[in-house]
A and B are shown apart, each in its own frame.
Chain A
Amino acid sequence: MKFNVVSPENTKELLELISVNQDRYFRFGAGYTDLLIELKKQPDEDLTVINLAQLTDDIFTAISKIADGFRIGSLVTAKRISLSKDLQSNYSVLTEAAKKLASGQVRQVATIGGNICTASPAGDMACALVALQANCEILNSNGTLRIIPITDFFTGVRTTVLQKDEVLRSIVIPSNNRKNKIYSNFIKIGTRRAMECSIVSLAYHILTDEKSIITHAGIALGSVAPTIMLAKSACDYLLGKSFSSLNPSEIKEFSQKILEYASPISDIRASAWYRTEVLGNVAKSIFEN
C-alpha cells in the first residue's frame, strides 16, 4: 500500500492543498480506520491523501457550546465525544452511539467527520446526528462556508453532497429548546458487543414538556436503507402525544410508520426479514421502559 501524504497544519494550508489537488485523485484522511482498509483492498499509487490529523484549528478539533446549540469539529474523535459531559447531558443519543462504535482502539482515533463522510448506512454517530437533525458546515477551497442539514447530506451508499473542492469542517447540533425531559438513546443490534457493524440501529431524541407531552422527536434508522433515514412521519406522529402514556395501538401505529422508512437488504450480517422484524420490535421498545 503506497500513496502520497500531505499534512496541512491550519485551515489556510488545507484550502490551498485542496485547491492545488483539484486535478488529481485525492482523499481525506483523519482517523484512517476506514480509509486504510479501503486502500488495502484497492491500492492506488497515484493517490494523494490530504492528512487532516495535523490540523490544529479549534474549529476542526473542538467541542464548543454556541448560542443555539453545540458545534463539534469534524476531527473530534469518538472517544472524546463519548467522554463529553455536555454532550452526555444534552444529547445522550450521540454519546451512546460513540460508545458503541467499533472498539476502544478504533474510538481512540475514529473521527465524527469521518463517520459522516464515509456515508455508510450503518454509521453509528452519523445515525445519531440524523436523529438530532444536525447541520453540516462545509468549507470549499475558496473559504466559503455552506451549511446543509445532515438529512440532505447523504445521497446514497458511500456518496454525499460534498464536492471535490469541499471539506466537512464541523457539525452543529441544535439546542434542546423548551424541554422538560429528554429521552435520548441509541439502540444498536448486532451479534457481539464490540467491533460490530450494526445489523439495525435506531437513534432517538425525544423532548417532552412538564406534562410529558412530546414537543420534539427525532428518530433515525441505520442499516435498513441505502442511507440513514430520518423517520419524519413517525416523528410527527408523536408530537403532542404523552410519552409515558402511549397506548398499545398508538405504539403499534408508530412502529408501522417507522417501518415505512425501511427497505433493507439481505447480506452476510442479516436477512431483510430479520432487519424489518427487529426494527419494528425495537421501535416499540422506546416506550416500554
Chain B
Amino acid sequence: MTYKILNTRAPRVDAIDKVTGRAQYTDDLSRPGQLYCAILHSPIAHGRILNIDTSKAESLPGVKAVITGKDTGTIKYGVSPARYDETILCLDKVRYIGDEIAAVAAIDKDTALDAINLIDVEFEELPYVLDGIEAMKEGAPQLHEKYKRNICAKVNWNFGDVKSVEKDADVVRTDKLTSQMQDGAFIEPQAILAEVDGSGRLTMYSSTQAPHYIQRTLAMALEIPLEKVRVIKPAVGGGFGPKASCSTAELVTCKLAMITGKPVKMTFDREQVFLHSRARHQFFHTMTTGVKKDGTILFLKHNCILDGGAYASFGIATVYYAGSLLGGPYRLKHMDYDGYRVVTNKPTSGAQRGHGAVHARALFEMQLDLIAKELGMDPIELRLKNVMGAGETTCNELYMSSLGMRECLEAVRDKSGWAEIYKLKKTKRGNNNHKARGIGAACGFFVSGAGYPIYRSQTYHATVVTRISETGGFAIVESGAADIGQGSDTVLAMITAEVLGISLNEVKVKSGDSDLSVDLGAYSSRTTLMAGHACKEAAEACRDKILSSVAKRVNAKQTDLYIEEGLVRSRKGEVDFSGIREEFLQEHVGFTDHPTDEYLTFREAARIAFMEHGSIVGTGKYKPPKLGGSFKGATVGTSPAFGCSAQIAEVEVDLETGEVDVKKITGSHDCGFAINRTQVEGQMQGSMSMGLGEALMEEIMFDNKGSVLNRNLAEYKIPTSLDMPQLDSIIIETNEPNGPFGAKEVGEGAIMPVIPAILNAIRDATGVQITELPAKPERIVEGMKKKK
C-alpha cells in the first residue's frame, strides 16, 4: 500500500509556532486579577506536625488565602486506587524534605513567597530512613502505617519452572546493578493556571501528560463532580513520565482558585521540580541467568528492590514492569521474579521513559554479553539464537502480534560494521596508553500502550471526534490526547489527511482538553496506536458520509469513489460531477477561489454532504481487547503490540581520567509502520540522548539529612549537544496487525538498549564491569584500579 501523507517526513504541525515562540505554554497564560500560589515545603525528612501557625502569613498585605491540611481534607489520592496514600497537603506527618505543608495565594509571587516564610510549623522530628535496603529491615523508621517494613508493593512471580531446568544450564551467572534516583529534566517546569467560571466550573491549565487522569483526581480529591472539572493541556515542554500523575501543586492551585474565586497561577522553580520528582526510581537488581552451551537461554531469577521515596505514586506499576518486561524479546521459558517497592524519606519516584524496565533491561543485556564471553560466542549471535518473532507468547503471557527483533539486530550489526570492529585486536582499534576503544550491543522491548487503564474501568482508552468545516475547506480533529512535544498532534493530523485524501494543512488538531474526548494520556507509548485507531475511524466516518452524498448525487456506487490529493475520483471510469460544480459556484458568487480542476474537489464534495446532513461529524474509539494472563499483576506489561529495538554503541575511554567518549550509536527500532519517519527518528535519537545521560552522568544526590544536593541543571548533569555521538537510526517496519496502518510505539522502547550497549562497550574497552550507575569517570577509574 502506498500512502500520500503517511510514512513521509512531513513537518510537524506545531513546528512554526514553536520555533517562532508563538506556541503558548501554561506559564505564558495569564488572567486579569490572577493570584499567585506558593507552597511551603517540609524542611525535615520525617516528622510529626504538632502545630501550624498561619496567622502572620494571613495578615501580610496582599495575601488572599492560606491553606493547610485542615482546609484540604483527609481524602487520600495517588495513582493506583489500592495505594492511595497522599493527601493534598500533609495532615499529621511530613515524610521527606519537600513534602507540601501549606499553600498561599497572594497578589504576586514575591508576596506569596514572603507569606510562606511567615508560616510557623512546629515539628516533632522522627527518625528517618534514606536507604531502600535499610528501610525494609525490621525496626527501620516506618513512613506509613499501612506499609509494613516500608514495603508498599511486593511481586512474587514464578513462570515456568526454574528449578527443573537449573541443572541443565552450562553457564550460570549472578550479577548486580544499582542505579540512582533520577530526574526527568524536561525543559518546562510544571506550571498551572486554575480558574472557576460563573457557573462554578473549574478549569485547570496544566503542563500535564494526562488530562484525563488529572481531571478524575481533581474531582475526587477536591470533592467536586467530574463534570465540573475541565483540564486543558497547553503546549508542554516535555514530560517523560513525571508529569503523568496529579500533583499537590495542581490540587492546591485549584483549591485556592475555588476558595478565592480568582484565577490562581503557579510555576515550579527548578528546585521544586527536583523536590516533587516522580521521576525514575532507584533500582537494586540482582539477576541469575542460566544458559546452555549452545547459547540457549534457560532461565532467569530476578530480584529487584525499588527505592521509591515517600509515597507510592506510580511505584506499584513500576515494580511490575521491572519484572514483566524481561519476558521478551528472547525466548525465556522459566522466569522467577521477586520485586519490592519500598518507601523512604526522599522525594517520590514514579514513571519515567521506559517505565520500570530500563535498568532491568540494562543488567540482563550486560549478563548476556558476559555469558557470550564465557561461551566464546559473539554476543550478537547469542542474541540472535534466542530472539522471539511474531506469533510467539512470552512465559508471562505477552503475545507478540509482530516483533522485528531479528531484523533490528541484523540491521545494526550490518550497518555498524560490528563483525570487523568486534574481532579487531585491541591494538588495532587505535588504542594507546591513554585511550581504549570498545563496542557493545544490546536489545530492548516495550509496550505499545498499556493494556488496561490505571483505574479499573471498561472505558475506551481513546475517542476522537472529527468534523468537516461547513465550507469543506478543512477537517477539525478533536481529541483529548496529550501532545507533550512527542508529536502526537502531527500523527493525528497525518492519519486524518491520509484517510480524507486531503493535504496536511487542511487538518486542524485540537487536543489535550478533557472536554474534547476521552484519552488516557501520554504515557506507556500509547498515543499513536490508541488515539491513532480512534482518529482513523473518525476520519473514515467523515469520508464515508461525504462519498455517500456524492455517490447519491451522481448515481455512482459509493465504494467506487475515493478521495486522493484533495480530489474525488472514481475507480469505474469518468463520472459527471458538473451538477455539483454548478451548485457550488452559485453559492460562491464573488469568491476568488473557485475550483477549476477537472475533477471534483474535496471542498465541493464536503459541501454537498453538508447540504444533505448539516455538520459532517465522524467519531472514533479504541480500547484494547482483553489481554494477558490471569495471575496476580498480569495486566501490567500487557499491550496490544510490542515495539523492539537494538543498538550498538562504540566508545573511547580515557584510561587516565575515566572519561567516556561515546563515538557512535547505531540504533534500529521496530515501530511497525512509521507514520512520520522524522518523528520516529526523533524519538529514537531522543532516547539515545536520554539513555546516554542515564548511563554516564545522571544521578540525584542527597546529603545525610535527605536533602537533594544537586537540585538544579548545573549540577544534575544531562548530556549537552556536544556530548552527543554520531547517531545512525534505522527504522524497521513489521506491519503490526493491531496498530493503525500497522504502527506501534517508538517513544520509550528505543531507550531500552542504550544503557547496556554503552556499558557493554565500556567493558569491552577497559574490562571494567559497571555495577553501579551512572558510569561516571570516577567509577571507571576505580574499576580499573581494582582490576590492577
Quick check: A189 and B657 within 8 Å, CB to CB?
yes
Q: Which of A103, A271, A274, A288 contacts B434 (CB 8 A)?
A: A288
A residues 186-224 in Cβ contact with B at 8 Å? 189, 191-197, 199
List chain B residues, Cβ under 8 A from A199: 777
Quick check: A268 and B720 within 8 Å, CB to CB?
no
Residue of A nearest to B719 (CB): A192
Q: A271-289: contact bitstring with B at CB < 8 Å (1 yes, 0 no)? A: 1001001100110110010
B122 at the interface (CB under 8 A from A): no
Quick check: A282 and B657 within 8 Å, CB to CB?
yes
Whole-angstrom distance between the Cβ of B260 and the nearest chain A Cβ? 26
Whole-angstrom distance between the Cβ of A3 and the nearest chain B Cβ? 14
Residue of B nearest to A285 (CB): B656
B776 at the interface (CB under 8 A from A): yes
B778 at the interface (CB under 8 A from A): yes
Residue of A nearest to B710 (CB): A268
Quick check: A274 and B777 within 8 Å, CB to CB?
yes
List chain A residues, Cβ under 8 A from B434: 285, 288
Quick check: A189 and B720 within 8 Å, CB to CB?
no
B interface residues, Cβ below 8 angstroms from A: 433-434, 656-659, 696-697, 701, 709-710, 714-715, 717, 719-723, 776-778, 781-782, 785
With contact pairs A278-B658, A281-B656 given, residues A195 and B777 touching in the complex (Cβ less than 8 Å): no
Quick check: A278 and B717 within 8 Å, CB to CB?
no
Residue of B nearest to A278 (CB): B657
Residue of B nearest to A289 (CB): B434
Q: How far is the CA of A278 from the CA of B656 in the complex (A)?
A: 6
Quick check: A197 and B714 within 8 Å, CB to CB?
yes
Residue of B nearest to A270 (CB): B778
Quick check: A271 and B714 within 8 Å, CB to CB?
no
With contact pairs A270-B778, A271-B778, A274-B777 given, residues A191 and B696 touching in the complex (Cβ less than 8 Å): yes
List chain B residues, Cβ under 8 A from A193: 720, 722-723
Whole-angstrom distance between the Cβ of B392 and the nearest chain A Cβ? 41
With contact pairs A195-B720, A281-B657 given, residues A268 and B701 touching in the complex (Cβ less than 8 Å): yes
With contact pairs A268-B701, A268-B709, A278-B657 given, residues A192 and B717 touching in the complex (Cβ less than 8 Å): yes
Q: How far is the CA of A207 from the CA of B719 in the complex (A)?
A: 37
Quick check: B709 and A189 within 8 Å, CB to CB?
no
List chain A residues, Cβ under 8 A from B656: 278, 281-282, 284-285
Q: A89-111: contact bitstring with B at CB < 8 Å (1 yes, 0 no)? A: 00000000000000100000000
List chain A residues, Cβ under 8 A from B782: 274
**Further contacts, 20 of them, CB under 8 A, given A189-B777, A268-B701, A278-B658:** A103-B720, A189-B657, A191-B697, A192-B717, A192-B720, A193-B723, A194-B720, A195-B714, A199-B777, A268-B710, A269-B715, A270-B777, A270-B778, A277-B785, A278-B656, A278-B777, A278-B781, A281-B656, A281-B657, A284-B656
List chain B residues, Cβ under 8 A from A194: 720-723
27 A-B contacts (beta carbon < 8 Å):
A103-B720, A189-B657, A189-B777, A191-B697, A191-B717, A192-B723, A193-B720, A193-B722, A194-B721, A195-B720, A196-B717, A268-B709, A268-B715, A269-B715, A271-B778, A274-B658, A274-B778, A274-B781, A274-B782, A277-B781, A277-B785, A278-B656, A278-B657, A278-B777, A282-B657, A285-B434, A288-B434
- Residue from B715, B719, B721, B722 with most neighbouring chain A CB atoms (10 Å): B722
List chain A residues, Cβ under 8 A from B778: 270-271, 274
Q: How far is the CA of A268 from the CA of B462 in the complex (A)?
A: 45
Whole-angstrom distance between the Cβ of A210 and the nearest chain B Cβ? 28
List chain B residues, Cβ under 8 A from A191: 659, 696-697, 717, 776-777
Residue of B nearest to A200 (CB): B657
Whole-angstrom distance between the Cβ of A189 and the nearest chain B Cβ? 5
Residue of A nearest to B703 (CB): A268
List chain B residues, Cβ under 8 A from A196: 717
Residue of B nearest to A37 (CB): B714
List chain B residues, Cβ under 8 A from A274: 658, 777-778, 781-782
Q: A221-257: contact bitstring with B at CB < 8 Å (1 yes, 0 no)? A: 0000000000000000000000000000000000000
Q: How far is the CA of A285 from the CA of B433 in the complex (A)?
A: 10
Whole-angstrom distance between the Cβ of B447 and the nearest chain A Cβ? 31
List chain B residues, Cβ under 8 A from A192: 697, 717, 719-720, 722-723
Whole-angstrom distance between the Cβ of A270 and the nearest chain B Cβ? 6
Whole-angstrom distance between the Cβ of A279 and the nearest chain B Cβ? 10
Whole-angstrom distance between the Cβ of B784 and the nearest chain A Cβ? 10
Residue of B nearest to A274 (CB): B778
Residue of B nearest to A103 (CB): B720
A interface residues, Cβ below 8 angstroms from B: 103, 189, 191-197, 199, 268-271, 274, 277-278, 281-282, 284-285, 288
Q: How far is the CA of A284 from the CA of B781 in the complex (A)?
A: 16
Whole-angstrom distance between the Cβ of B768 and the nearest chain A Cβ? 14
Whole-angstrom distance between the Cβ of B726 and the nearest chain A Cβ? 15
List chain B residues, Cβ under 8 A from A189: 657, 659, 777
Residue of A nearest to B724 (CB): A193
Whole-angstrom distance between the Cβ of B719 and the nearest chain A Cβ? 6
Whole-angstrom distance between the Cβ of A36 and the nearest chain B Cβ? 13
Q: How far is the CA of A277 from the CA of B780 in the complex (A)?
A: 12
Residue of A nearest to B778 (CB): A274
- Residue from A103, A193, A197, A271 with most neighbouring chain B CB atoms (10 Å): A193
List chain B residues, Cβ under 8 A from A282: 656-657
List chain B residues, Cβ under 8 A from A195: 714, 720
List chain B residues, Cβ under 8 A from A288: 433-434
Whole-angstrom distance between the Cβ of B432 and the nearest chain A Cβ? 9
Q: How far is the CA of A284 from the CA of B433 in the complex (A)?
A: 11
List chain B residues, Cβ under 8 A from A269: 715
Whole-angstrom distance between the Cβ of A215 and the nearest chain B Cβ? 27
Residue of A nearest to B779 (CB): A274
Whole-angstrom distance between the Cβ of A202 and the nearest chain B Cβ? 11
Q: How far is the CA of A52 from the CA of B696 in the complex (A)?
A: 40
Q: How far is the CA of A194 from the CA of B722 in the complex (A)?
A: 7
Q: How far is the CA of A36 from the CA of B307 in the complex (A)?
A: 36
List chain B residues, Cβ under 8 A from A284: 656
Q: How far is the CA of A192 from the CA of B697 in the complex (A)?
A: 8
List chain A residues, Cβ under 8 A from B715: 268-269
List chain A residues, Cβ under 8 A from B659: 189, 191
List chain A residues, Cβ under 8 A from B657: 189, 278, 281-282
List chain B residues, Cβ under 8 A from A268: 701, 709-710, 715
Q: How far is the CA of A37 from the CA of B696 in the complex (A)?
A: 27
List chain B residues, Cβ under 8 A from A278: 656-658, 777, 781
Whole-angstrom distance between the Cβ of A282 and the nearest chain B Cβ? 6
Q: How far is the CA of A278 from the CA of B723 in the complex (A)?
A: 21
Q: How far is the CA of A288 from the CA of B782 in the complex (A)?
A: 22
List chain A residues, Cβ under 8 A from B697: 191-192
Whole-angstrom distance between the Cβ of A21 and the nearest chain B Cβ? 25
Q: How far is the CA of A192 from the CA of B776 in the complex (A)?
A: 10
Q: How far is the CA of A269 from the CA of B699 in the complex (A)?
A: 11
Q: How far is the CA of A49 from the CA of B315 in the complex (A)?
A: 48
Whole-angstrom distance between the Cβ of A281 and the nearest chain B Cβ? 4
Residue of B nearest to A197 (CB): B714
Q: How far is the CA of A197 from the CA of B778 in the complex (A)?
A: 15
List chain B residues, Cβ under 8 A from A285: 434, 656
Q: How far is the CA of A193 from the CA of B696 in the complex (A)?
A: 12
Q: How far is the CA of A194 from the CA of B781 in the complex (A)?
A: 21
Q: What are the 9 A-B residue pairs with the smallest beta carbon separation, nearest first? A: A281-B656, A193-B722, A274-B778, A194-B720, A191-B697, A194-B722, A192-B723, A278-B657, A268-B709
Whole-angstrom distance between the Cβ of A38 and the nearest chain B Cβ? 13
Residue of B nearest to A196 (CB): B717
Q: How far is the CA of A271 from the CA of B782 in the complex (A)?
A: 11
List chain A residues, Cβ under 8 A from B714: 195, 197
Q: How far is the CA of A284 from the CA of B717 in the complex (A)?
A: 28
List chain B residues, Cβ under 8 A from A271: 778
List chain B residues, Cβ under 8 A from A270: 777-778
Whole-angstrom distance between the Cβ of A94 and the nearest chain B Cβ? 21
Residue of A nearest to B702 (CB): A268
Whole-angstrom distance between the Cβ of B414 and the nearest chain A Cβ? 30
List chain A residues, Cβ under 8 A from B721: 194
List chain A residues, Cβ under 8 A from B710: 268
